[in-house]
Amino acid sequence: MNINALELDFLAVGENSKSGDAIAIRFGNYENSRWNQQTVFVIDGGNSSSGQKLIDHVKNVYKSNSIDRVILTHPDGDHASGLRQVCEEMNIGKIWMHTPWNHWKELHQFCHDGRITTNSFEERLRRAYDYADQIENIAIKRKIEIFAPKQGAYYHHDNEKLVTVLGPGKDYYVSLIQDSDKTPRMQGTSSQKTFSGEKVSRYEDLSFETENLTAESESTSAENNMSLVLYLTIAGKKILLTGDSGCDGLYKSIYYAKTQGINLSELDLMQIPHHGSRHNLSQGILREIQAPVGIISCAKNGQPSHPSSIVTNALIRRKITPHTTQGSNVFFRYGNAPAREGYTSSIPVSFENYVDVYP
């Protein structure tokens, strides 16, 4: 198959202030006004109402009842919930997802509570990550293979890597389970911190001197840093999908990419992590990752946190044009992929001169 067309659909998730991610991707051969061959991916499923939207999109737009790969970047409900219905009702080739409850072997030596056993550890984490647990149960019931996507794993066609997992690596992933407040008490110091609820408004302009994005890493939850970071090279385009990854996870993925000769400063499209939160991006990250366009999956009324104007301003300064879902699906097409009837141009986020800062 000559892959000459790529479509990415970032579906709107969240009517109010609660954001989520739901992404549908189609790529393949498009010639003579028809898709001759196609592959369909779904990456994250948003909230419970997003599952039906994904199903309708794949059936009505992609004209398919099958999804070649379902990928859960991490087990938070705003990414996992909708995938339950997708996995129940669609024909699924394979599911890529981590199952944190299967790592007792690596973690039992760090557990403080002698009452914790293999079974109780597994039961506790299955309850904590209920949606992911339900997806696994659906997969077992329907005999869908689950693949644990380790760093360096990839999806390929004709020996060409199309989707590569840049992170997290196994050791880092296991350390995040250890660090999570959902895990029985472990040795080690948590990297999570509480953020102040007090805010002030500060003036920004296009000069870097007024920027309020932090120079280096902010902390985020262990679950966010569990997010798969995916590098797509399809139809001649380079795309980075980040889930909810924080700066720590992104830096580790950037380092791994460099060891593989992957240059993340030459992207065509990048997903801004965690719905555009200021805690998941830094000046340092933006020195390493560059693209002309950044896409932010965020709720219709997610501001001022999702997205943060600190983040969108930082993108605009670096000539990364930010687009958001905020109540509307956003569609990108590359190569021979055709225009769609009824779709209009997305309006980019504008620069804001006053931003909310939490000292």
Task: Tell me the mean pLDDT per 10 residues along the chain, length 359.
Answer: 95 75 97 97 94 97 98 93 97 97 77 71 89 97 97 95 98 90 61 57 93 87 95 98 96 98 98 93 97 92 75 98 92 97 91 87
Task: List all residues 6 or more positions away from 174 whose beta carbon is below 8 Å from its beta carbon.
Answer: 103, 106, 107
Cross-strand bridge partners of residue 9: 24, 331
Residue 85's alpha-carbon distances to 12, 44, 98, in angstroms, are 17, 12, 18
Q: φ, ψ for residue 138 (rounded to 5)?
A: -65, -45
134 vs 145: CA distance, rounded Å: 14
Residue 295's alpha-carbon distances to 28, 95, 269, in angstroms, are 22, 24, 8
Give me 117's structure tokens.
């056993």
Give me 354's structure tokens.
């006053």
- Sheet of strand 269-271: strand arrangement: 154-157, 160-167, 229-234, 237-241, 269-271, 293-296, 321-324
Question: What per-residue confidence (pLDDT) applies to 192?
Answer: 47
Strands 237-241 and 229-234: antiparallel
DSSP state letter for 280: G
298 vs 302: CA distance, rounded Å: 6
291 vs 267: CA distance, rounded Å: 5
For the CA atoms of 64, 42, 154, 145, what is the dihedral angle to 10 degrees?
A: -80
For tokens 């902390």, the residue is: 219
How crowded is the C-beta side of 142, counted as CA atoms within 13 Å?
A: 21
Give me 50's structure tokens.
């997003």
CATH of 5-336+350-357 among 3.40.50.261, 3.10.20.30, 2.40.170.20, 3.60.15.10: 3.60.15.10
334 vs 330: CA distance, rounded Å: 14
Task: List all residues 6 or more positions away from 140 whose beta carbon is below 8 Å from its beta carbon.
Answer: none
Question: What per-residue confidence (pLDDT) applies to 189?
Answer: 43
Question: What per-residue confidence (pLDDT) applies to 216?
Answer: 85
